[in-house]
Structure 1
Amino acid sequence: MRVQNRGASGSGHGWAGAQTMFWNCRSTRVDIMVQSPAAARNWGVGNIALTFAGNGYFESNNRHVLPRSLYLAQLKDRLGDAAVNNITLPAQRMGSISTQLQSWAGEGAFNP
């Protein structure tokens, strides 16, 4: 997982992002890279990885934080519990469905 200045990287596109938040992510490879451009900030909060690199803002490395989902917390603040219930499964609200997603692997209907 990387938000960084990709320089030319063959296409000349430069920065991968600005104002980017990695929240409660888990890197299954080696590291999480969070670099910030001069006029912006990128963050990594509550992430788990073997190493962390970059000049971005890091907090709570190798320890997930609450709320579990920043997106769902913001949605609830803006539109209430009904909005969250409309876009999530009960299993998601109670924990994680990553094991079920791995088993499903995009084949057929998802039925946790």
Structure 2
Amino acid sequence: MSKTSEMKDTVQIVVEMTLRLRQASDDAWDYVNVHVQELVYRMTEIVDWAQQKINEGEEFPMDILLQQLQNLDEAYTQKDEVLLADTLEYEVSNALQVYLERGEE
């Protein structure tokens, strides 16, 4: 499976996590717990990719990306459904989309 395909799958997982959290469904945290490790792995891949771009001389807002990862960790650790849903929808989704637009296979 290509990196792009894996990231697209992760986007769908993020959409589903956000939906379940916003609906406060009974299985929302079960779903999040099953998929959070994969999500963190993908975000780490994006950090590595961004660092490579910076090393190649491109500008990239690494501080924003790292803040998004920290926000994800804090929302998950605090089990804050609203904060986690917001972080997923407005920050993590954005990072995944940037990778899909600018990333490589």
Normalising by structure 1, we get a TM-score of 0.28
Determine which structure has more spread, i.e. the larger CA radius of gyration.
Answer: 1
Normalising by structure 2, we get a TM-score of 0.29
Between structures 1 and 2, the one with greater strand share: 1
Between structures 1 and 2, the one with greater helix share: 2
